[in-house]
Structure formats: structure tokens, C-alpha cells
Amino acid sequence: MSALEVRGLTKNYGEVLANDDVTFAVGEGEVFGYLGPNGAGKTTTIRTLMGFQAPTSGGGTVLGHDVTDEADLIAAKRRIGYLPANPAFDEGVTGREILDLHASIKGDERRAELLETFDPPVDRTVRDYSTGNVQKLGLVQAFMHDPDLVVMDEPTSGLDPLMQRAFNDFVEAEKERGLTVFLSSHVLSEVRRVCDRVGIIREGRLVTTERIEDLLHRTGKFVRVRVAGDVGTRAFDLDGVHDVSCSTTDGGRTDDPAETGPDAGESVDVDALDGTEGTPSDGPVTECTFTFTGDVNELIAALGERRLLDLDVEEAPLEEVFMRFYGGSDA
Ligand SMILES: Nc1ncnc2c1ncn2[C@@H]1O[C@H](COP(=O)(O)OP(=O)(O)OP(=O)(O)O)[C@@H](O)[C@H]1O
């Protein structure tokens, strides 16, 4: 049985078709990222799954319970954790009181451990909370009754980078424990570490669902290289090179950065260098960036022909894949 299922979900707000025949399923123990830009329809799906709004047609299940059947859903919710987008708590009470109330309804087996991880200032009134602290309180609340399924709408929104890392570590550990997690994001790089699979939604329609490693494989590597000499634009004329951008500096002069195809220019003139390992005397230096989806051995061979001053090779930002889905790049 899937932990969560969406079947032909359509939500028409009148002017806007926010979900258009959306269908996907999340398996037990899976961490699934629901990705899309602002206004794509993520919150609409999530709110429907949590029973806060009725679909125009279609529907779904959470932990096997029909999301359009209020009574059925109440039973399921005891075993579900939920973090809404921009959680809003009663401003006049303390974080501790909010958690106490939640505990009285659903339980709080894991409260102490979660407070240690996320550390919201529970003795302050919520009115005095920063946005990030509200989010941290929301995370404690979502997990503290030790649910089987957690649904989160942009969970890292408002968290600083350290807390985002703590969140990722936490979700990875939860995955090990077998928890099922469904989370939305519009920042793909945030979900790459924790998600097994992602579904990408655009203008209400599900574009694709795929394993994150397949997505990463297609995305390739992001390469930034500094090369001695004015290498022109043919330096990286290889299959699998996309979006090449090079600029050359020469004694303080910077040529206009060129967005180029791999088909013009000249090779590096290593004789123009002074022989110092990897460092030109005062000759030109070219910096190129590109995305590489080809054979990494060919890339290394091409790099080996140059005198490199610096090299970064990293996982290409998933934003680039995202751009491809959204027509932002033909790469
Ligand atoms: N109650 C509503 N009435 C009318 N239109 C709505 C309503 N809620 C959402 N919409 C519209 O439906 C579309 C999808 O909104 P939704 O909030 O589901 O997107 P989202 O992907 O969650 O966006 P974000 O990342 O900005 O939170 C948007 O065009 C939005 O303006």
C-alpha cells in the first residue's frame, strides 16, 4: 500500500486551475519532494491531502484513508504530522503551551529530543518569535507524536543554513527509521540530499516523477575552471558541454564575458607562460564555467591539455534541470 496517493486530482478555483489531473503515489518509507515554482499548485495538493479543502474532481488517500471523507481522515491524522506553509500559531501563548495542547490531542513521545534538535524558544510567547523560530516550533509539532507519515509545505523556509543542515540530517535519520516524508519545495538544491524521488509540478500539471539520482545523472556536473592563457572558446569543445561562458583577463583587463557555443576561438598558448607550475607570469587568464553531462574521462583528458590555475567540479545545481523542465535552457 502507498503511504500517500493522489489520483486525478483537479482543483479549479474559478479563475485558476491550480491542480489539473495530478496523479502520483508515495511509497512507505519514501522521502518524496514535491517541487515547483511559486504558484505551481503544491500547496493546493497538500491542503487537499490534509482535508482542508475539497477537490473539484479526483482525490487521494493518506495512509490508506480517503482524503475526501472527513471521518476517515480524522482517524488517519493521528498518525500524520503536518507542517503548513507559514504556520500560524496563537500569538498570545508560549511555544510550550502550543506543544502542550498538541500533546493532549496527538501525544508527544518525541518532544524532548525534537526540542534539542530544533531548539525553538518555548518559554517565549509566539508573538515574540522570529519567522525561523515559528518554523522550528512547527517542525517540533509536526514530528513530536512520532507519526508514520509527515507532510510538510516548504519546511526549510525561514531556516538559516545551519538549521537547514540540521533539518536535512534529521530527515535522513528519520528515513533510516522508516518514516514516510512528503515535502514541497521550490528550491531544488534543498531537497537533493534527503529525497528518494521528486515530482515536479508546473502550472497545476505534474511534469514528471523520478528518482533523484536519475535527475542528478541527467543534470551532470557544474565545472568552473581557470586556465592560463587566452584559450578562446574552443577549449572545451566536447560532447556533453552546455552553457559555456568564458571571460579572459589580461593585466587587469577583462574581455566581455562570452556566452558561447563550443565552436570558435583558439587554444591555450602554454609557451606564453613563464614555466612556473600552474601560474602564468602576467599573461592572460581565462575563466570558463559550463555544465557537463558527458563522459567524465573525456572531460579530464580535455582539462589535462590545459594549464589549470583552479578547478571546481561539483554537482550541477538542480535548478538547471528545473530550468530545462520550464523551458529556461535547451541544454
Ligand atoms: N483559495 C484560492 N483561491 C483562488 N486561487 C487560489 C487559491 N489558492 C491558490 N490559488 C491559486 O492557485 C495557484 C496555485 O497556488 P498554490 O498555493 O497551490 O501554489 P504553490 O505551488 O504552493 O505556490 P507557492 O510556492 O508560492 O506556495 C496559484 O495561481 C494561486 O494564486
- How would DSSP label each residue in 198-242? EEEEETTEEEEEEEHHHHHHHH-EEEEEEEES--TT-TT--TTEE
pLDDT attached to residue 318: 60
Q: Is the CB of 185 under 6 A from ligand 1?
A: no
pLDDT attached to residue 188: 75
Residues 125-132: contacts with CB under 8 Å, at least 24 apart:
125/91, 125/92, 125/93, 125/94, 126/89, 126/90, 126/91, 126/92, 126/93, 126/94, 126/95, 126/98, 127/91, 127/92, 129/95, 130/158, 131/158, 132/158, 132/159, 132/160, 132/163
pLDDT attached to residue 254: 52
Cell numbers 511559486 label which residue?
38
Query: Separation of 177 CA from ligand 1 center, angstroms?
Result: 33
Q: Is the CB of 18 under 6 A from ligand 1?
A: yes
What is the residue-averaged pLDDT of the chain? Answer: 86
Q: Is the CB of 13 under 6 A from ligand 1?
A: yes
What are the extents of the domains in the chain? 4-217, 221-315
Query: Separation of 186 CA from ligand 1 center, angstroms?
Result: 13
Q: Which of 118-132, 248-262, 286-300, 310-324 has the lowest mean pLDDT?
A: 248-262
Cβ partners under 8 Å of residue 53, min gap 6: 11, 44, 47
Q: Is the pLDDT of residue 270 over 50?
A: no
Q: Which three cell numbers stand for residue 101?
A: 495542547
Distance CA 255, CA 271 (A): 21
Q: Which of 282 and 17 is assigned the larger pLDDT?
A: 17
Q: Is the CB of 186 under 6 A from ligand 1?
A: yes
Q: How far is CA 306 from the centre of its chain?
A: 35
Average pLDDT over residues 180-195: 88
Q: Is the pLDDT of residue 263 over 60?
A: no
Q: Is the CB of 16 under 6 A from ligand 1?
A: yes
Q: Is the CB of 22 under 6 A from ligand 1?
A: no
Radius of gyration, alpha carbons of the chain = 25
Return the ligand 1 atom nearest residue 36 CA: 21
Q: Which of 65-69, 136-140, 184-188 has the lowest mean pLDDT?
A: 184-188
What's the fold here for domain 4-217? Rossmann fold (3.40.50)
DSSP class of residue 94 equals B
Q: Which of 259 and 120 is assigned the larger pLDDT?
A: 120
Q: Is the CB of 157 under 6 A from ligand 1?
A: no
pLDDT attached to residue 191: 85
Q: Tell me if ipTM is over 0.95.
A: yes
